Structure 1
Amino acid sequence: MLHHVPVTGGTLTVEVVDGDTAPVLAVHGLTSNRKLWSWVAAHGFTLVAPDLRGRADSAALTGSSLRQHTDDMVRVLDALGLDAVTVCGMSMGAYVGVDLAVRHPDRVRALVLVDGGLPMPAHAAMTPELIEAAFAPQLAVLDRTWTPDGYLAANAAANPLIDPADPLQRAYFAHDLSPDGHRRLDRATVLADARDTVLGTSPWRSLTVPTWFVHAGWSTGPDTPPAYSAQDAAGFRAALPVLHEPVLIPEVDHGGTVMTAAGAAVTAGVLTEALR
């Protein structure tokens, strides 16, 4: 069921996927959309999955920052009558989850961070100029028109871990597109969020809610260096009392933590533990 939640500047589109669990607020990543969670939803979870502002069905709603996303998530919980939920965030969504749990700990029962939310070593070397360069290829597609099949094929060609025969992949990439074939992604919003996520300071050390961390064995495709090493994960575990033992998903990349059957199964297992 779709909900249109009033937030600052307009409305946010939120999908509630019915399952057999307590509701989970599922927050997608920087250039993603709510269909990211389809593989996890297949495990029977009740998900509250927004398209974040500047993306997909919420593309017309701009003016963004991590703090703004957090404020939007509070409005979503209020609109749906949810006092406190388990939050699962992937990539930038994990940073939003951390900010939500620190600023509004009464609204977060437990927190699952999927390949994000904790400081990435690569971020230390980034500058605003490097961020723009890093996202230039993804933003270049905004100037093109696509068919759903062509858009899926282009993404599958760029990353062999994307299975073009998977109907969930087709639905995910199709949801990115407008009826006239343009990607529904606001350029200024993405860059503002990227700067905030990469150059900002995560308040992760202030977390007080039970927290789980899932990380990928690769970053972007097979055999690429991961965003977080096992040593990084162990360091977070030692520094943060509320953090449970980190879980590594080998042989998947950043997106594959939730967008492949193998990755989603591991993430679903961790989420099940967090819901107990």
Structure 2
Amino acid sequence: MTGTEFTVAVDGGALAVTRWGAADALPVVALHGITANGHSFARLAAELPDGLALLAPDLRGRARSADLPGPYGLGAHVADLVALLDDRGVDRTVVVGHSMGAFVACLAAVRHPDRVAGVVLVDGGFGLPAPPGTDIEAVIGPAMARLSMTFADRDEYRAFWRKHPAFAGRWSSWVDDHVQRDLVGEPPAMRSSCVVEAVRVDGAQVLDDPEVLGAVRALPCPAWLLWAARGLMDESPGLYTPERLTALDGSGVRLVELPDDNHYTPLFSSTAAVVAAQVHAAVQQTVQA
């Protein structure tokens, strides 16, 4: 399933967006993780019913939006999201977010309740206490380390990711497409497109910004959190556990466990069909109600 790419005028330049789905289909928006790109949602798009389209931007400082300047931060992603909705003439829709993108989705819903009808959060959006001084490098490990590395060619970059514990035995063309979109430059010095400053600024807010961390408890719209049982390095437990999630009791956020997945895999494995079904249900409950 091939997407159509276009750009949207935002502060400082052009935001790159991929659209999957028919021209007359109802669009939902998908926001990716901190060092990812919009093509992380290609399999999810393929699993959506014909009546829905998916708009997935490369967020500011990543992939084909890497040239967009700062200031960075989740508020900048929210502003870019609103610009995308305006450009496409979308008054109100469901927003899907994975990892950091889930925090952006929550913040967008709180700041713009008239534009976000519901949020589907995939292993993100709910912040966990971090020791003082914790930085994003300590949290995401190899995903951050690669930003300062160079690679001889696309095969070497592919090999780097194939060794990541989250993808061991789980490699697919969906993962490869996402990984290759991130790579820029020319052999023998290719590198990740991600802007280190953007990742650090965004990561700091995910870890300790009060508005960002509080957004999930202040959502003015229906919300679902699909949480993976395993973590970023395929470890157990993952970011969330039933015990940790009791902090969301009374928030209205509905919880769905993904018992066979780690932090990355819900977007690339057969679980993408589960995520797609939840997105479809959210649209039916909110936008099409």
Is the TM value for this pair above 0.5? yes
2:206 aligns with 197
Letter in 1 for 2:28: V
1:231 aligns with 243
Structure 2: tracts of 5 or more residues without a match:
285-289
1:62 and 1:186 in contact (8 A); partners too: no
1:127 and 1:199 in contact (8 A); partners too: no
- In structure 2, relative to structure 1, the CA distance for the partners of 1:160 and 1:213 (3 Å cut) is closer
CA distance in 2, matches of 1:249, 1:219: 12
The answer to whether structure 1 residue 240 and structure 2 residue 248 are counterparts is no
CA distance in 1, matches of 2:124, 2:64: 24
2:119 aligns with 111
- In structure 2, relative to structure 1, the CA distance for the partners of 1:80 and 1:149 (3 Å cut) is same
Larger mean CA deviation between 110-119 and 13-22 belongs to 13-22
- In structure 2, relative to structure 1, the CA distance for the partners of 1:225 and 1:253 (3 Å cut) is same
The answer to whether structure 1 residue 213 and structure 2 residue 225 are counterparts is yes
Following superposition, the deviation at residue 146 of structure 1 comes to 4.2
Following superposition, the deviation at residue 125 of structure 1 comes to 1.6
SS at match of 1:239: coil
Between the aligned residues of both structures, percent identity stands at 32
Q: Deviations over 1:139-192 (max 9, x none)?
A: 442331242222122111122535575111111111011151221110111111
Structure 1: tracts of 5 or more residues without a match:
none
Q: Deviations over 1:231-259 (max 9, x none)?
A: 233441x2213x23x10001211011212
SS at match of 2:89: coil
- The one of 42, 59, 62 aligned to 2:46: 42
1:147 aligns with 153
Following superposition, the deviation at residue 100 of structure 1 comes to 0.5
CA distance in 1, matches of 2:102, 2:7: 23
1:256 aligns with 265
CA distance in 1, matches of 2:19, 2:11: 21
CA distance in 1, matches of 2:175, 2:161: 10
SS at match of 1:125: coil
- In structure 2, relative to structure 1, the CA distance for the partners of 1:204 and 1:133 (3 Å cut) is closer
Following superposition, the deviation at residue 7 of structure 1 comes to 1.0
Letter in 2 for 1:28: H
| Equivalent residues, number | 269
1:164 and 1:170 in contact (8 A); partners too: no
SS at match of 1:117: coil
- In structure 2, relative to structure 1, the CA distance for the partners of 1:29 and 1:222 (3 Å cut) is closer
SS at match of 2:167: coil
